[in-house]
Amino acid sequence: MTRSPNKLIPAGFSAIPSLTASDAVEVVAVTELGAGALEAIGVLVHTDGDLPEGVPVDRNALARAGFEAKSGTSLVLVGAEATLLVVIGTGPASETSENRLRDAAAAFVRAVPKATRIGLRVPSIGGVDATSAARALTEGALLARYRYDALRATAREPKLASVELLLDGVDAAAASDGIAQGLVTARATAIARDLANTPPSHLTATDMADVATALGERFGFDVEAFDKQELIEMGCGGLLGVNAGSAEEPRLIVLRFAPVGEPTGHLGLVGKGIMYDSGGISLKPSDPMHLLMKMDMGGAASVLAAFTALRDLGASAAVSGWLMCTDNMPSGSAYKLGDVLTARGGRTVEVKNTDAEGRLVMMDGLVLATEAGVDAIIDIATLTGAALMALGPSTAALFGTSQSLVDRVKAAADATDEPAWQLPLERKYRKQLDSDVADISNLGGASAGAATAGLFLAEFVGDTAWAHLDIAGTMQSDADDAWRSKGATGYGTRILIEVARDFTPPS
């Protein structure tokens, strides 16, 4: 990376340390767990039925120890053997699912945080197909062990070296295929987490362009970055307006993936990349949320990370991405309340709040996506506190103009256990965005903030099918939660991968 002289960056620092960490983990499907070489063995246990062979105690003994096999619970059994035995609850056998398996693998890994060589026995995968089961187990194990230690002198926990998966009665080839997919999707999610966890002084918009270029070279997609002068020539007044108060240049980063063979469709992804959001002149209060504003580029991080998976998963669609990157800072040159910005394409926007900046940078990206002639657009942004207040920190708000596309995003969210809930794009709220001096204003009224933000974005997609994920609540977790590690979650990365890999134009 090319860095300005005033940045004090530790030697060897990388904004994406998970690349080397994930490459070092060996996950394999086996027909027998190598107990002699393993530090811990986990066994999945249902709340009903017989205990799996090899569990040395009965259910009464487990119950006396407080273990009832509820989903996501675990109990470490310490015996004379050097290898720890861990029982992991998965709930009733009839409720076995990909999400339960993912959570179980995560619970196992968290129960033995110092173990580096582990094995997991899965007596039954229920009605889940072998590939999906192995993928979910791989994701759960790797994502639960994730830690952002790039700026620490020593890591908090040792890295995983190997994971053996024994899935009773399952075709080994199908399981191995699922593991290969899980390694790719877990790696992509970890990349998104790394980027969002990185401090803003260590990852500026120009750094993000450098990171994207390096990732593109490694994972088979093209990257083109546009600097401030080029953005002026392109008429991207939203991105330029938000950047006006910053000492750091903005970057528009365009990503392009071309599949082998004729594309099944062309999907556009637009990500909000506010590298740090102070609120600008509409300064945020100095509370814990301010500290989290290094993650205001979580949407762009998820889009970029998703691109790292497309070639390795054999995606059949063409996919283009637009990352709208800048920080939002107060200064003598910052944009002001009452200013009017001109978006790409000529529409004018009155600024009523400089902390409603995400939609201003996104409008340029959405117009560029429509100009590229994509079949559909999915945008992802840490956009509104209203989404957090409405749905909490576990569920993203989902809007759209194409129900077919929204349904695909919702299905992907369900499959990856990254919950999203569709909210109505209520058109009668559009008048809240009216302006006396411009075509539209960037802020609505006191209520329905997530909806008016969505309505603002909808103004810039034309007739193109469009879905919008507001991830303000889901971008980070306050504590370890199943496979979600404390800090940036990488939310949306696997949703985008799921939709993009076999995308076809929506009806």
Q: Are 88 and 70 in contact (CB under 8 A)?
A: no
**CA 183, CA 138: separation in Å to the nearest integer?**
7
Strand 340-342 relative to strand 348-350, pairing: antiparallel
**CA 466, CA 482: separation in Å to the nearest integer?**
31
Strand 318-328 relative to strand 251-257, pairing: antiparallel
**CA 482, CA 503: separation in Å to the nearest integer?**
29
**CA 27, CA 10: separation in Å to the nearest integer?**
31
Please pick, among 135, 147, 359, 410, the residue that the annotation labels catalytic: 359
Please pick, among 159, 284, 311, 336, the residue that the annotation labels catalytic: 284
List alpha helices for 112-171, DSSP H.
Answer: 130-144
**CA 391, CA 215: separation in Å to the nearest integer?**
33
Q: Are 470 and 454 in contact (CB under 8 A)?
A: yes
313 C-beta neighbours (distance < 10 Å), count: 17
CA angle at 491 for the pair 485 and 496, rounded to the nearest 5°: 140
Q: Are 448 and 399 in contact (CB under 8 A)?
A: no
Show Cβ contacts of residue 164 under 8 Å, excluding neighbours closer than 6 positions: 28, 29, 30, 33, 34, 38, 118, 119, 120
| DSSP state string for 87-100 | EEE---GGG--HHH
251 is catalytic: no
Q: Residue with structure tokens 């026995």? A: 121
Name the token pair of 245.
């108060």
359 is catalytic: yes
Catalytic residues: 284, 359
